[in-house]
Amino acid sequence: MNELLLIQDTGSVRIVMMNRPEKRNALNTALTRDLLDALRASDADEAVGCVVLTGAGQGFCAGADLAEFKDLTPEFQHRVEERAELTMQLHLAFSKMAKPVVTAINGAAMGGGAGLAIAGDLAVMAESAQIGYPETRHGLVAAIVMANLVRQTGRKRAFELLSLGESLSSRQALAYGLVNRVAPDADLLSEALAVAEKLSNTNAAAIRATKQLFHEVADLPLEEALKRARETNKRMRAFQK
């Protein structure tokens, strides 16, 4: 257990819970670093088949902790650069992991928190939860989370979310393709765990190769994507038992 993260293994599923409920799990530097380390450690742990990411309390994640912004100024450029790099690595980690990640969006997911909510391979959202990118309303830019949002929901919808800063309900998020399922609030974690257990019980080599190929082909021209797929296809027999 870490005071910023609550980590629990249920069979081969690891639950990673952000634990700053009094701050709606806002991402300060310490939590960002611990979360990145926890994801990497889970990926390296042979006993873990799938990760469920959620938040303690009423919110999933409120995004960046604005209280730290006073120290992220041009006068402290090294801090600005270190934090930006850390944030980028956190959002990149999900696609680099061999293990699948299910996000259980238990409450508001805003800004960087919205980026985390959709960064997982599958997402289950509580009925009462909301998701949004309110940065422009604070004179900011949803910079690092932008690339993944555009890839998942398309250019027009992504720009609307980024520019207007309006939140989506769980049903709207489902319609936009940002989440896979909506569950009653009381059933959210059990629903996410059920999905995670199915993933964990799937052939690990097949899941690993599927995830790797999925992220490779998503942004490739068709011919190059098919060539990558051909190479994976030739390795398929390795998955046979």
How far apart CA 119 and CA 91 sit, in angstroms, is: 7
Q: Is 230 exposed, middle or buried (0-12, 13-18, 19+ CB in 10 A)?
A: exposed
Pick from 195, 209, 28: which is nearest to 125 by CA?
Answer: 195
**CA distances (Å), 182 to each of 148, 152, 188, in order?**
21, 17, 8
Rounded to 5°, the CA angle 157-160-162 comes to 110
227 residue type, one letter: K
Catalytically active residues, by annotation: 135
Nearest to 96 by CA among 190, 216, 187: 216
Q: What is the spatial distance between Cα 147 and Cα 181, in angstroms, rounded to a whole number?
A: 22
DSSP bridge pairs for 169:
130
